[in-house]
Structure 1
Amino acid sequence: MNTWDSGIEPDYPAMTVLGGLRVVLRALLLAVVVFGGLLLLLLLRLIERPLFRLHRPMTPYITQMVCRAALTIIGIQYQVEGMPMQRRGVVVSNHSSWLDIFALNAAKRVYFVSKSEVAGWMGIGWLARATGTVFIERNPRRAQEQTLIFHQRLHEGHKLLFFPEGTSTDGLQVLPFKTTLFASFLKDDIRHEIAVQPVTLIYTAPAGTDPRFYGWWGDMSFGAHLLRTLAPARHGSVRVVFHTPLPVADYADRKALARASEDAVRSAMPQDKVLESELEVAR
């Protein structure tokens, strides 16, 4: 079966002198905003941690402001549709790029669930730990321990966010959702208290460029993709669409909950190219 990933990267515009200057300027501004925000967050956590422990009543606002500023610096137009849920629960989204982190944090104060390897990535790992990311291992022996961590964070009012596709894509489609993590939220001690809110991220490429411009997948280098993203004179946009929350107690098992979440995310994707027949085979 042919997969969605042809292995052919978008035909990015050639880098110009002016594009190079924009890269340098935007990169410097991003570094100041991101790492300046990180320093402020760490200093505030020195006060916040002993007083509130896991609860973070102040620092998530810094993360949100930094991410909004980052999108402005890059030049990506940003639009939110729908209402972020107020009740306890989990957020799930399609995954196109590292830009998703900025778009989702800018829209709602959330805590990402990420694979444990990310904790060791230079720079990104520091930021992830500082902003309260929950790191998980793909190890069945750790499943119960990780479920307890999820429940503890949810009871503190944290909105946990994860990408059920399990990988980033070209941004034009939604891949079948993996169901494993959904099982953690169906336990009897929490299922009646929480909901899952599906969110769709819809990117529109800069005028005249490949529709996959913002997608970051496969063997693409982060550094090269970052440079290409910072270079355009005029950018496209990202829409963050919040769907109606799904009460976990309404679903019999993880597969039903995952499918309902996937259907909601897919419903807002006007450019979804994955054939339903291929999805059924992939499942």
Structure 2
Amino acid sequence: MSDPSWQSEDEPDPIELGVSGWILVFLRGVPLAVLVFGGLIALLAIRLIERPLFGVQRPVTPYISQFVCRNAFRILGIGFCSSGELMQERGAVVANHTSWLDIFALNARKRVYFVSKAEVAKWPGIGWLAQATGTVFIERNPQKAREQTLIFEKRLKAGHKLLFFPEGTSTDGLRVLPFKTTLFAAFFTDELRDIMYVQPVSAIFHAPVGQPDRFYGWWGDMEFGPHLLKTLGARRQGKVELIYHVPAKVSDFENRKALAAHCEQAVRHAHSLIRLEK
């Protein structure tokens, strides 16, 4: 069963592009499409060589994904900044979830592999990109828990940094929801517990001047297409800020609930502080 989407008590803000907005959609949308799909073609071509030579290892293609994500923000005009040290140890990264823009932001600073619900693999466009970039797809099915843990172990032992959103859904970006503990369980196996670290990351979106604070939020039943047009057509853009916290060693925690609570507190505290400063 998939997680229910978070819903706001207020209706989403109306999308009003106007003539200038549509011009910006074209001026930003065309180069963004060229960047994304050009990068995808290059990635798939290199993967044809990379896969037979290195198997699950991906020594080249993650750099293509990172290049695409960094330059996507330049094309969109969205500011990007980050602070904190990147984790060098073997392990996973967890962050709060605001919108599809999180994927670009978190990949722009660090080469990661996302963990996503299985349904995403079937989404047009996003699903193809996710599969090509090595996303790990999971089913929220207890009967497949052991199988998915083995997949996690294989990827983590290969040195991949797996990234997932423990909230289980995206929000308006004004809050951090309680972290679900299910995926943390995989890190407590005998094979991984003593070598695993988890790095919490706070992702904060700052709205364009004059726009609602939740401008970049994508939640509930909001469709991807209109949200993309709204982002492309914004006359002014805001910025995204990433704060990387100290990695937590899994063996220092008694169980998945304790580890999840620690990561949630770190993400929530920094997120709240930044929002209060605005």
Q: Same fold (TM over 0.5)?
A: yes
TM-score using structure 1 length: 0.93
**Structure 2: distance between partners of 1:229 and 1:206:** 10
1:163 pairs, out of 139, 162, 165, with 165
Corresponding residue for residue 6 of structure 1: 9
Corresponding residue for residue 122 of structure 1: 124
TM-aligned CA deviation for residue 22 of structure 1:
0.4
* 1:73 aligns to 2:72 (yes or no): no
1:226 pairs, out of 225, 228, 245, with 228
Paired residue type of 1:204: H
1:34 pairs, out of 33, 36, 39, with 36
Corresponding residue for residue 3 of structure 2: none
**Structure 2: distance between partners of 1:140 and 1:149:** 15
How many corresponding residue pairs? Answer: 270
**Structure 1: distance between partners of 2:142 and 2:271:** 33
Percent of aligned pairs with the same amino acid: 61
What are the equivalent positions in structure 2 for 1:1-283 lying under 5 Å apart?
A: 5-12=8-15, 14-270=16-272
TM-aligned CA deviation for residue 41 of structure 1:
0.4
Alpha-carbon displacement from aligned partner over 1:155-201 (angstroms, at most 9, x marks no partner): 00000000000000000110000000101111111111010000010
Q: CA RMSD in A?
A: 1.4
Alpha-carbon displacement from aligned partner over 1:8-41 (angstroms, at most 9, x marks no partner): 21355x3121111100121111110000000000
Q: Are 1:111 and 1:132, in contact at CA under 8 Å, matched by a contact in 2?
A: yes
**Structure 1: distance between partners of 2:7 and 2:30:** 35
Q: Which runs of 5+ in 2 are unaligned?
A: 1-5
Alpha-carbon displacement from aligned partner over 1:37-88 (angstroms, at most 9, x marks no partner): 0000011111111111001011000000000111111110000110110110
Alpha-carbon displacement from aligned partner over 1:133-155 (angstroms, at most 9, x marks no partner): 00000110100000000000000
**Structure 2: distance between partners of 1:213 and 1:164:** 22
Distance 1:272 1:76, change over 3 A: closer
TM-score using structure 2 length: 0.94
**Structure 2: distance between partners of 1:15 and 1:77:** 21
**Structure 2: distance between partners of 1:270 and 1:180:** 25
TM-aligned CA deviation for residue 233 of structure 1:
2.3
Alpha-carbon displacement from aligned partner over 1:106-131 (angstroms, at most 9, x marks no partner): 01000000000011111111100100
Q: Which runs of 5+ in 1 are unaligned?
A: 274-283
TM-aligned CA deviation for residue 7 of structure 1:
3.9
